[in-house]
Amino acid sequence: MAGKLGIVAGGGALPARLVAAAGAKGRDCFVIAIRGHADPAGLEGVPQAWIRLGEAGRGLQILKEEGVEELVMAGPVRRPTLADLRPDWRTARFFARLGLRALGDDGLLRAVVAELESDGFRVVGLHDILDDILADDGVWGRLSPDPMADADIAHGMKVARGLGALDVGQAVVVQQGIVLGVEAVEGTDALLRRCADLRRQGGGGVLVKISKPGQERRVDLPTIGVATVAAAAAAGLAGIAVEAGATVVVDRPATVAAADAAGLFLVGIRPERT
């Protein structure tokens, strides 16, 4: 029998889905919600505490007092500056030990997981709680990529793999073989807004998202949802391709319905890893 589940809640709908899934499985859970990021909607009636992002020490103390054994992190959290963070003693000590590894997202998240595990928590992934959350292979909706889109997807996978190896981002937009933009700190929605003004004449245009090589998959998988589809449609793209088995799809039925309504294809691909 799994122990008490702790949910570290960032933004979006995923924390609420985890709460619902835990309840459906009869699991006790406790939520640590990050102020300025987590949405109270969907967390009503669940034992919870709210902390600042820099209050790791207080958060860990609360989790231990609540008897939490497993931890899952869900929802995006905007990376703060150190000035915004205002770290407590435990957080400051963590960053002092981390040093230059804090410069990259993947190195930082690996260190966070190691820190949590050193405190006795078992860190699990979203897919360990939500069985149907990961993208599967193939076309999901009514539309399929044409040969031009297939070529853009293949090119985008190569470019995204290179970005990931440098711990830069997880997404790229390609049209007619031309890279219109790559994701960095701004996130996927901002990338799509930027690429809307860069589209070339003619058809096509694909958003490609894949995980980084060697990525800590329990805490930082690429994610798409209805908002991603809306942003891709507004950017004039033809569709979205993601890595099957390694991409979180928030509310898949609604995401597929939104893509069908917008005239976009959605496809899961398993890229070759070399």
Domains, the chain, in order of start with CATH, read: 5-129 (3.40.50.20), 138-269 (3.40.140.80)
Q: Which one is predicted more confidently, 90 or 34?
A: 34
pLDDT for the residue 83: 63
Residue 274 pLDDT greater than 50, yes or no = no
Share of the chain above pLDDT 90, in %: 52
3-state secondary structure the chain: CCCCEEEEECCCCHHHHHHHHHHHCCCCEEEEEECCCCCCCCCCCCCEEEECCCCHHHHHHHHHHCCCCEEEEECCCCCCCHHHHCCCHHHHHHHHHHHHHHHCHHHHHHHHHHHHHHCCCEEECHHHHCCCCECCCEECCCCCCCHHHHHHHHHHHHHHHHHHHCCCCCEEEEECCEEEEECCCCCHHHHHHHHHCCCCCCCCCEEEECCCCCCCCCCCCCEECHHHHHHHHHCCCCEEEEECCCCEECCHHHHHHHHHHHCCEEEEECCCCC
User: Stretch 134-143: mean pLDDT, rounded?
Assistant: 95
Q: Encode pLDDT of 207-260 as tens digits.
A: 999 988 877 778 878 899 999 999 999 999 999 999 999 999 988 999 999 999
- pLDDT-derived band at 94 (thresholds 50, 70, 90) equals confident
